[in-house]
Homo-oligomer: A and B are copies of this chain.
């Protein structure tokens, strides 16, 4: 019998990687249906029947459909994580997981993705050169985000909400990886934080990150070849 939990993902997407890694880490039986973003498969009629917003990721579990990745991370942990560590029940810990998941939308995600898109993806697709002022705007914000992450979210703890990894850390690491692959120079403690999350996950971490890293390498080469 096939698993009832279905992820619609492309691992070049940060939240899609977080969802795939969560399911693998907690060992829940699930299917991953790959929707190729670079080929525009998220814009097809078939996929719109799954997700009318035509975005990746989406999660289906029986009759439950979730089109928002943070809601899906909470749902999968709550339903399938028997360890209880990924989305802790303790309210004082959980509220700090929630706080980061809410904060990252307009911070880590917006500017990490903004940097990736504007420094690499869009220039290659549109055959233009990167708009320096836009890229520098995202770079400045990523600098501020790194400082906020260090001072407010991490402090002296190894992870965001407590002494162990949660869905907030997993999403944070997957988001940090995107501008990192595109050449953004994260400093410590972000770099050592990513390493800690990676060791918690094990070999699946790099496996799930490989297609994004390959895409980034190929985009960089195309951009560099054009600049010569």
Contact = CB atoms under 8 A, between A and B. Distances in A.
A147 to B, nearest CB: 10
B99 A66 contact: yes
A106 interface: yes
B95 A70 contact: no
A13 interface: no
Contact of A105 (B94, B99, B102): B102
Given A79-B91, A91-B79, A106-B105, A71 B98 contact: yes
A70 B98 contact: yes
B95 A64 contact: yes
A43 B101 CA distance: 24
A75 interface: yes
A213 B51 CA distance: 37
A152 B72 CA distance: 16
A152 to B, nearest CB: 6
Contacts of A152: 52-53, 67
A163 interface: no
Interface in A43-94: 52-53, 64, 66-72, 74-75, 78-79, 91-92, 94
Given A98-B75, A102-B105, A151 B67 contact: no
Contacts of A71: 95-96, 98-99, 101-102
The 4 closest A-B pairs by CB, nearest first: A71-B98, A68-B102, A71-B99, A75-B95
Given A52-B148, A52-B151, A68-B102, 7 more contacts: A53-B152, A64-B92, A69-B102, A71-B102, A78-B91, A79-B91, A105-B105
Interface of A: 52-53, 64, 66-72, 74-75, 78-79, 91-92, 94-96, 98-99, 101-103, 105-106, 148, 151-152
13 contacts: A52-B148, A52-B151, A53-B148, A68-B98, A68-B99, A68-B102, A68-B103, A71-B95, A71-B102, A74-B95, A75-B91, A75-B98, A79-B91
